[in-house]
Amino acid sequence: MPDASGGLLVEMEAISKDFPGVHALRECRFDLRAGEVHALVGENGAGKSTLMKVLAGVYRRDAGRIRVKGAEVDIPTPRAAQLLGISIIHQELSLMPNLTAAQNIFIGREPRRALPFLLDERALNDQARKLFERLHIVIDPQTKVANLAVAQQQMVEIAKALSHRAEVVIMDEPTAALTDAEVDELFRIIRQLRDDGVGVVHISHRLEELKRISDRVTVMRDGQYIATVDTKAAAIGEVGRTIYEEAPEIPEVADPNVVLDVRDLARGRAVRGVSFTVRRGEILGFAGLVGAGRTEVARAVFGADRPDSAQIRVHGRPTRINGPGDAVRQGIGYLSEDRKRYGLALGMDVETNIVLATLRKFLRAFGRVDARRTRATAEQLVQRLAIKTPSLRQKVRNLSGGTQQKVVVAKWLTANTDILIFDEPTRGIDVGAKSEIYHLLNELAKQGKAIVMISSELPEILRMSHRIVVMCEGRITGELSGREATQEQIMTYATMRAPVATVD
């Protein structure tokens, strides 16, 4: 459609967005033409998703301008975005598990019968079926979404976006949970959309995808716009270097002593026969897609959830762990991905948090706390871990995410923990503070701690791990040496689903 915008569907200029304590976006720009696939790449926390959520009406921009087809617009709600023809497929699938596929697709826009408040369920299912046929997807529209596999749920999301007759479709890491065959299928659909004149934004981590599917690439880092290049002209390797600032620093090789030996760990559908070992001074990376069962493994080892079966040896001794108390006594510490909920007493100060779990060690007669010793211990740890706090009396709530993480580590060190399980240690931490956490992990490994690191960020896994264990659907599907592993290898294992009966 010819207009003043010169074929540009979307133009975003000088977009800024702050969240409490974080500049998520600073003066970012982005544009999208009709009939192109525009890839948006960058490290986790670079602001890709935030920028697109601003366009999709999920977040409101603090500053900047958005034009759609040349006209300046305000997009305060997801509904407003839909009316402008902008649809987003979120990274965390946002479907309603108790509703059917068809009901999810047309939520809020259900076909009605003669009386406008009555739903026409048959028309709803027919329309969904047609949509699936157009996309060549084999899903029964009347299946509850809870009973669909992740990949199928993703297809439902795509069908939902298309059902809006969207002219702009934003896909936030759509390939993260898909197998190669499914990715091929997704790309076929994306190309079909592009040929129909839809503008597609493809947010991705995976460089090898860019060449296959995108026409242009925009790189972001640290909440800022870095560059936009034509995919054909650009050397993909160069784009890669633009994204990741530092080369990986694989730490030194570990001790041969096995500290933690887990065999045949099983818990329901989430964990199925998982076995692994961690050695003294080693960082074992647990890679996999979200929902692969890594956190469930950690929680079961730590005794937070009771496993159906498990043989756990600590320092070679068979051990029964019936609860977190047992785990702590065996020297196992678990650092939850949700620090604020499980790891810290936010309203209390640094010193209290550090000694809270081990207060018994600091008691004098009649249960009085030996304040001099707690202070000394806390001071020592603050120095050793370089915890940036104005004083020991500072409330933990007022510290940054990275510093909070260090306080949790200090707490476990006080408890003489020699096995530390980190679950997404850098989630929600500023890019700058991440390297400090990495440094700390390396330091702890050097001091002889055995470390399990669960992470969904492949660059982080590759950069930190001596060995990498990959999980998919509750099973361990592969083990790689940290030096030799590549993102592609990990992804192959991470999407290696158990064989199931086929229909055809």
Partner 1 sequence: MRIGLAALSPARRTTLMRSDAVQRLLAFAALIAIILIFSLLSPNFLQFDNVVGILIATAVNGILALGVTFVIISGSIDLSIGTVMTLSSVMTAVFITEWHAPVPVGILAGVSTGALAGIVNGTLVAKLKIPSFIATLGMLNVAKGLALVVSGLKPIYFNDTPDFNRAAMGSVIGGVIPGLDIPNVVLVLFGCALVASLILTTTVLGRFTFALGSNEEAARLSGVNVVGWKIAVFTLAGIFSGIAGVLIGARLNSAQPSLGQGYELDAIAAAVIGGTSLSGGEGSILGTVIGAFIISTLTNGLRILSVPQEWQTVVTGGIVILAVYLDIVRRRQQQ
Q: 12 and 64 in contact (C-beta within 8 Å)?
A: yes
Nearer to partner 1 among residue 189 and residue 314 (C-beta): 189
Nearer to partner 1 among residue 112 and residue 364 (C-beta): 112
Query: Rule CB under 8 A: which residues touch partner 1?
Result: 58, 77-79, 82, 88, 90, 94-99, 103, 107-108, 110, 112, 117-119, 121, 136-140, 143-144, 146-149, 151-152, 155, 160, 179, 181-182, 185, 268-270, 497, 500-504
Nearer to partner 1 among residue 88 and residue 420 (C-beta): 88
Please, what is the minimum distance in Å from the beta carbon of residue 501 to partner 1? 6
171-191 in b/e burial notation, b at 16+ Cβ within 10 A?
Answer: bbbbbbbbbeebbebbbebbe
Nearer to partner 1 among residue 151 and residue 346 (C-beta): 151
Q: What is the DSSP letter of 230?
A: E
Q: What angle do CA 300, 304, 308 make, to 5 degrees?
A: 40
Bridge partners, 201 (sequence order): 38, 170
Tokens 């933990």 appear where? 396
Cα 325 from Cα 197, distance rounded (Å): 59
Nearer to partner 1 among residue 112 and residue 329 (C-beta): 112
Nearer to partner 1 among residue 144 and residue 263 (C-beta): 144
Please, what is the minimum distance in Å from the beta carbon of residue 169 to partner 1? 15
Q: Which tokens is 17 given?
A: 């967005």
Nearer to partner 1 among residue 90 and residue 202 (C-beta): 90
Nearer to partner 1 among residue 251 and residue 303 (C-beta): 303
CA torsion through residues 463, 464, 466, 467, sign: negative
Please, what is the minimum distance in Å from the beta carbon of residue 415 to partner 1? 31
Q: 374 and 393 in contact (C-beta within 8 Å)?
A: no
Cα 272 from Cα 497, distance rounded (Å): 13
Please, what is the minimum distance in Å from the beta carbon of residue 49 to partner 1? 13
Q: Residue 446 CB: number of other CB atoms within 10 A? A: 11
Nearer to partner 1 among residue 147 and residue 257 (C-beta): 147
| Strand ranges across the sheet with 86-89 | 71-73, 63-68, 8-19, 22-33, 224-230, 216-221, 37-41, 199-204, 168-172, 86-89
Nearer to partner 1 among residue 285 and residue 293 (C-beta): 293
Tokens 């969207």 appear where? 166
Please, what is the minimum distance in Å from the beta carbon of residue 160 to partner 1? 8
Q: 102 and 159 in contact (C-beta within 8 Å)?
A: no
In degrees and rounded to multiples of 5, residue 253 shows phi and psi of -70, 150
Please, what is the minimum distance in Å from the beta carbon of residue 184 to partner 1? 8
Residue 3 has, within 13 A of its CA and on its CB side, a CA count of 13
Q: 420 and 281 in contact (C-beta within 8 Å)?
A: no
Q: Which tokens is 299 given?
A: 């929680």
Please, what is the minimum distance in Å from the beta carbon of residue 121 to partner 1? 8
Please, what is the minimum distance in Å from the beta carbon of residue 137 to partner 1? 7
Please, what is the minimum distance in Å from the beta carbon of residue 294 to partner 1? 16
Please, what is the minimum distance in Å from the beta carbon of residue 201 to partner 1? 16
Q: Which tokens is 52 given?
A: 């697109």
Nearer to partner 1 among residue 144 and residue 313 (C-beta): 144
Q: 418 and 315 in contact (C-beta within 8 Å)?
A: no
Please, what is the minimum distance in Å from the beta carbon of residue 421 to partner 1? 22
CA torsion through residues 355, 361, 363, 364, sign: negative
Q: Are strands 467-472 and 450-454 parallel, antiparallel or unpaired?
A: unpaired
Q: Which of 273, 385, 261, 254 is nearest to 321 (CA)?
A: 261
